[in-house]
Chain A
Amino acid sequence: MAVEMSTGLIALASGIAIGASAIAAALAEKEIGVAAIGAMAEKEELFGKGLILTVIPETIVIFGLVVAILILNLASG
């Protein structure tokens, strides 16, 4: 299956878009997760807030995915 160079580059670009944003989200979530666990050790009622705060950076991946899809659409359309 021969694929044109330009298609390959588009695929690569969309891969980078989601991969890099996933790494960024992971780093951010790591920091928040550590702090949330620390706070929970002091006060258990903070579980709910901690959980929500921990998933907040997940938006970064969502944006990455949106961009990746836009790039892929560029290829097909």
Chain B
Amino acid sequence: MLTPHKMDSVVITGPNSVMEHVIKALHNMKVLHIVEHSDKELADIGSPLKSANKLSEILVNVRALIAALGIKKEDKTFKLKKGLLEIESTTKKLSEEVRMSQEELKKTEELIARNHSVGEELDTLKNINLPLEVFSSYKSLTCFAGYVRDENTAASIKVELSLITSRFMMFQSPIKKGHFIALFIDSKSKDSANHVLSKGGFSPVNFMNISNLKGSASGNMEKIEKEIAKLQSKSEEITRRMHIIANDFGGFLIMAEEFLSEQLEKAEAPLKFASTKSSFLIKGWVPSDELTESIEKLSKAAKNRIFVNFEPAKKHDKVPVKLKNPTPVRQFEFFLDLYSYPSYMELDPTLFIFLTFPIFFGIMLGDVGYGIVTLLLFWILKRKMPKASNFFNILMLASVSSIIFGLIFGEFFGFEFMHPIVERSAENKMFMPLAIAIGIVHVNIGLIVGFINEMKSHGFKHAFFAKASWFVLEIGAVLAALSIFKIISLHWSTGVAVILLSLIMLFIGEGIKGPIESLSIFTNILSYARLMAIGLSSVILAVIINESAGKMMHTGGVFIVLGIVILVLGHIINIMLGLLGSFLHSLRLHYVEFFSKFFHGGADKYRPFGVRQ
């Protein structure tokens, strides 16, 4: 439980003629964690199998189709019958069909957009009774078309223009954005007209989309609307066609993608091998208890033409780690996935997290009501998202723990429903030392684990100076404190001497970093005061919510409803805050305060060839 699976390093060599059989067998057995070959001087990396090119080409097509048709990856009921040939021909046919549909759709949508802008321009002109062709260019006439702010501005412009010349015509109509005017004026007066217009805040409109249209605006408008409706039904038709393809071939494409990825993984496996002209070499790791059986199977698959060398992991090997935990504890490996995997020689801390994480969580969110609500919430979420079931199992266990601690604290949604064994809200004088005491125990467990780890990897002497020195430091600090407060009759210098001794030991064990960081152990322990603090803030918030809602309800009338709203909303918010705080802080107590006493980590997770991630 505390140590990962034993691993053996394996080297497989053989002639290229059996490589494909070996890859196939390895892929089926799913036991070998392949170490990629990188030492280019000894031998080159292998080249992919011949089929790789073709496979990846089809795979790209299949993935493009999945993306284009918006197929979700849930449908996995389809059965592939004829393998690669079927996939290739069907994919080719589908790609062509989908590509054409997409192009058609794009063209149609472009046309719709263009017709819409024509429609907008026609809309501006529809109340002015002029044929569209009058807006073309003239020799002796200049045409201004655009907006002014309102009717009055248009009228004053007209008055000013009549002072300049009588040779002009002005049409106008109110529209959404303001007031539209179309002015035809003698070209000779163009500049002065321009001046008058810009003074009136005129902004011109460009009718570029309708310059080749003739007839009345409203007539054209009808035509355009009909055209748009026709195009829209066409685009809907194309989309429907694509949906039908997606429905008919969704399962096929998903399964094809899976099949091809698997084949491609096999075809590209030689990239991880070392190879010469006529032979190959695979390095990797296999769990020791599966070793003999795997080698037998492999030799059989390669017709005894390969040579397999194996030996147990040595001290400085970079071994991939496969953790070994019983089912309830295994859920908590999730926290190591988030952080880092322990190296092969280290103790696996999952068991410790399993024991203490729910306890810390419960102490912080100890409330029977909140515990029941979160337990239900995570149960529902687990059923909705089975992929994250590990995570929700952890949270459900934590919720149960907060129900248990809720009973100890006697709290139900902030109300004291029974006489508490420990009362959090009033007795922080007692509760804080309790939290710190938990800290002392937890940190010291960490130091003991650290001692064992160091002993395993660097021997007793190093472990003694690097880890046991912390115990000496703690004893020294306790002695000094007790004698200063005259609880024991010792001179304070005894404690200080012990502290000095521990600092020297730390210096020997960890270098200058040790004494400098010596204070960290006390801040680490004090940090466990958060067990009280987070809980306290959660309780006090709950009590405040209850009190203010209670006052409202006593007032009567509408306030009863308001009181209920405050009660429900307040507790929802408090539960959310409490969940986030309790989860993060108990996790942090493990990662920062606990792990820093022993954990090195950095190992690769054991990922056997053939298991898809």
Contacts and interface: CB of A to CB of B under 8 A. Distances in A.
Interface of A: 47-49, 51-52, 55-56, 58-59, 61-63, 65-66, 69, 73
A63 B339 contact: no
Contacts of B533: 61-62, 65-66
A56 B526 CA distance: 14
Interface string B564-590: 000000000000000000001101100
Contacts, number: 41
B432 interface: yes
A65 B592 CA distance: 20
A62 B529 contact: yes
Contacts of B526: 62-63, 66
29 contacts: A47-B338, A48-B337, A48-B339, A49-B339, A51-B584, A52-B587, A52-B588, A52-B591, A52-B592, A55-B585, A55-B588, A56-B592, A58-B530, A59-B523, A59-B527, A59-B530, A61-B533, A62-B526, A62-B529, A62-B530, A62-B533, A63-B526, A63-B529, A66-B432, A66-B526, A66-B529, A66-B533, A69-B428, A69-B432
Interface of B: 337-339, 428-429, 432, 523, 526-527, 529-530, 533, 584-585, 587-588, 591-592
B530 A48 contact: no
Chain B interface main SS type: helix
A68 to B, nearest CB: 10
| Most-contacted residue by chain B among A52, A56, A62, A73 (CB, 10 A) | A62
Looking at A59, A63, A73, the one whose CB has the most chain B CB atoms below 10 A away is A59
B527 A62 contact: yes
B339 A58 contact: no
Contacts of A69: 428, 432
Given A59-B523, A61-B533, 20 more contacts: A47-B338, A48-B338, A49-B338, A49-B339, A52-B584, A52-B588, A52-B592, A55-B584, A55-B585, A56-B588, A58-B588, A62-B526, A62-B529, A62-B530, A63-B529, A65-B529, A66-B432, A66-B526, A66-B529, A73-B429
A73 B337 CA distance: 43
A24 B587 CA distance: 22
Contacts of B587: 52
A28 to B, nearest CB: 14
A69 B429 CA distance: 8
A29 B52 CA distance: 49
Nearest to A65: B533
B377 to A, nearest CB: 20
Contacts of A61: 533
A52 B432 CA distance: 24
Contacts of A56: 588, 592
Contacts of A52: 339, 584, 587-588, 591-592
Chain A to chain B: the 9 pairs with minimum beta-carbon distance, closest first? A48-B338, A62-B530, A65-B533, A55-B584, A66-B529, A59-B527, A52-B591, A62-B533, A62-B529
Contacts of B591: 52
Nearest to A66: B529
Contacts of A49: 338-339
A46 to B, nearest CB: 10
A62 B436 CA distance: 12
B137 to A, nearest CB: 54
A52 B583 CA distance: 11
A54 to B, nearest CB: 9
A60 to B, nearest CB: 10
Contacts of A73: 429
A32 B530 CA distance: 20
A62 B338 CA distance: 25
A18 B147 CA distance: 62
Nearest to B590: A52
B528 to A, nearest CB: 9
Nearest to A77: B429
Nearest to A55: B584
Contacts of A63: 526, 529
Nearest to B583: A51
Among B429, B523, B529, B533: residue with most chain A CB under 10 A: B533
A12 B527 CA distance: 24
